[in-house]
Amino acid sequence: MKPEVEMKKAGTENESHLWNAMHKYNPNAKATVAVSGEGSWFTDEEGNKYLDGVSGLWCLNLGYGRQEIVDAAAEQMKKLSYFPLTMNHQPAIQLANKISILLGAEYQTFFSNSGSEANETAFKIARQYHMQTGNPGKYKFISRYRGYHGSTLGAMSATAQASRRVKYDPSAPGFLHVAPPYSYRSLFSGTPEEKDLRAADELEEMIRWEGEETVAAFIMEPFISGGGVIIPSMKYIQRVQDICKKYHVLLIMDEVVSGFGRTGKTFGFNHADGVQPDIVTMAKGLTSGYLPLGATAVKGEIHEAFKKEGKDNHFRHVSTYGGHPAACAVALKNIEIIEKENIVNRVKSLGDEKLLELSNLKSHENVGEVRQAGFLLGLEMVEDKETKEPLADDKMGEIVGKCKQNGLIIGKNGDTVPNGNNILIIAPPLTSTEEDLDFIIATVQSVIHTM
């Protein structure tokens, strides 16, 4: 019997069956097909080489082709190809212990497969924790406009980027949003730090208006990444922690992008003295993207609430592949390399010495602001510096396209907020050489100066 659809032979010509992420329909468009990668560079099937200036999707922290990581995965799969964490295996035990050491306190870690799942897990833990500690009405979550926390239903509901929710609403109930610490476009007056602290005050006002007995947790990225590389005053983060403690609201720190050295500290919250989140979520840089792995680290005192006898007092959540032995082995090797090669300090120094050179573009008529922390940089593009009108989408696309023509992949905050997709994003692998960084700087400067 002849099949209804005649399949094309396997190979790149069979792209019609692959559904690409974030692509608008264009029958004439052809996606880049990568075939190999080394360091910060990848090669497509036509032999073109590109510097990956956004680390894949903010995750390829140690770059392409790290044989030690590949070997760690292979060796682990030879010994134990799979094992569920309804029981235990050594790579997961070792990784959970290492995460506590890196976080600088006692944490219990639940493993999943991605950042979205790590945040979903955090929401379930927070609600159950309050239920089991005598606060059953605490079910609401507050996040910030422009923040991104994932694409599953709960994580998308915390993601306060309206364009990502179009045609998927209504969101899950119980999710609220406040203004971000976005001094460049703040409605508050004062210095940048004063504007940020006023944004923190808005969080406290919302908790009061909603009733502190109803708010379970506040989730935040220390540095808003995909929503525009928004970098707050460190006093803002400290103030947020104080507010959360005051009202018995758990502080969930989303370190999916900021973690493992991206900003010049092991975790983004480490920039703010004295901050120790109740829950920390991780993915991406945890394995440098070599295998999928998410993690939700919970303070020991919160985990204590789950050590109760009774039918429903345990955490009734499971992930088939979460904490896969090979993924945990990869994460351990990844962390070992980060420490051995002193990646965190390297990112801090080279970020300030090299990438910060792009701040010179602030004099350009279409560059409103340059924001940078380590190997995380955003250029806010405007039509006019006085009005701060965002640069048009077609012009943003032209800049990204011209960079690609010159061998550099950069990003922009597409499909985030209406009329606000005007931030160019640069987040190269943390192992990028000085020559790589020079190439990024020269290419971006050249493209913008020829607008």
pLDDT per residue as tens digits for the range 14-28: 567 888 888 888 888
**Residue 448: both structure tokens together:** 């913008």
Q: Which residues, 6+ apart, have CB-to-CB distance to 11 below 8 Å?
A: none
**Residue 238: both structure tokens together:** 């400290």
> Do residues 69 and 334 touch, judged by C-beta distance below 8 A?
yes
Mutual orientation of helices 434-449 and 393-405 as an angle, nearest 10°? 130
Q: Can you tell me the distance from the alpha carbon of 371 to that of 54, in angstroms, rounded to the nearest whole number?
A: 15
Q: Is the pLDDT of residue 1 over 60?
A: no
* Residue 36, helix vs strand vs coil: strand
Q: In this structure, what is the dihedral angle of CA atoms 105, 109, 112, 114, given to the nearest 10 degrees? A: 0
Residues facing residue 279 across a β-bridge: 252, 298
Grade residue 10 by pLDDT with cuts at 50, 70 and 90.
Answer: very low
Q: Which residues, 6+ apart, have CB-to-CB distance to 339 below 8 Å?
A: none
Rg of the chain over all Cα atoms, to the nearest angstrom: 22
> Do residues 427 and 377 touch, judged by C-beta distance below 8 A?
yes
Q: What is the DSSP letter of 335?
A: H
Domain regions of the chain by residue span: 12-65+344-449, 68-340
Which of 255, 223, 252, 219 is closest to 351 using CA atoms?
Answer: 223
Structural domain 68-340, CATH architecture: 3-Layer(aba) Sandwich (3.40)
The pLDDT assigned to 14 comes to: 56
Give phi and psi for 218, each to the nearest 5. -115, 125
Average predicted confidence (pLDDT) for the chain: 95
The pLDDT assigned to 7 comes to: 41
What's the mean pLDDT in 384-391? 97
Q: Can you tell me the distance from the alpha carbon of 450 to that of 364, in angstroms, rounded to the nearest whole number?
A: 11
Q: Can you tell me the distance from the alpha carbon of 409 to that of 401, in angstroms, rounded to the nearest whole number?
A: 8
**pLDDT single digits (tens) 161-211:** 989 889 999 999 999 999 999 999 999 999 999 999 999 999 999 999 999
Q: Is the pLDDT of residue 12 over 60?
A: no
- Strand ranges, E, within 6-92: 34-38, 41-44, 49-52
**How is domain 12-65+344-449 classified at the CATH fold level?**
Aspartate Aminotransferase, domain 1 (3.90.1150)
What's the mean pLDDT in 407-432? 95
Grade residue 3 by pLDDT with cuts at 50, 70 and 90.
Answer: very low
Q: Is the pLDDT of residue 6 over 80?
A: no
- The C-alpha angle with vertex 276 and arms to 275 and 277, in degrees rounded to 5, equals 115
**Measured CA distances, 54 to 24, 81, 262, 349, 410 (Å):** 20, 31, 11, 19, 6
Which of 281, 224, 216, 217 is closest to 254 using CA atoms?
Answer: 281
Q: Can you tell me the distance from the alpha carbon of 258 to that of 404, in angstroms, rounded to the nearest whole number?
A: 25
The pLDDT assigned to 15 comes to: 64
Grade residue 302 by pLDDT with cuts at 50, 70 and 90.
Answer: very high
What's the mean pLDDT in 409-437? 95
- Half-sphere exposure of residue 11: CA atoms within 13 angstroms, side-chain side: 4
**pLDDT single digits (tens) 80-136:** 999 999 999 999 999 999 999 999 999 999 999 999 999 999 999 999 999 999 999
Structure-token match 């894949």, residue found = 56
Residue 351 CB: number of other CB atoms within 10 A?
Answer: 21
Total number of residues shown for the chain: 451
**pLDDT single digits (tens) 235-258:** 999 999 999 999 999 999 999 999
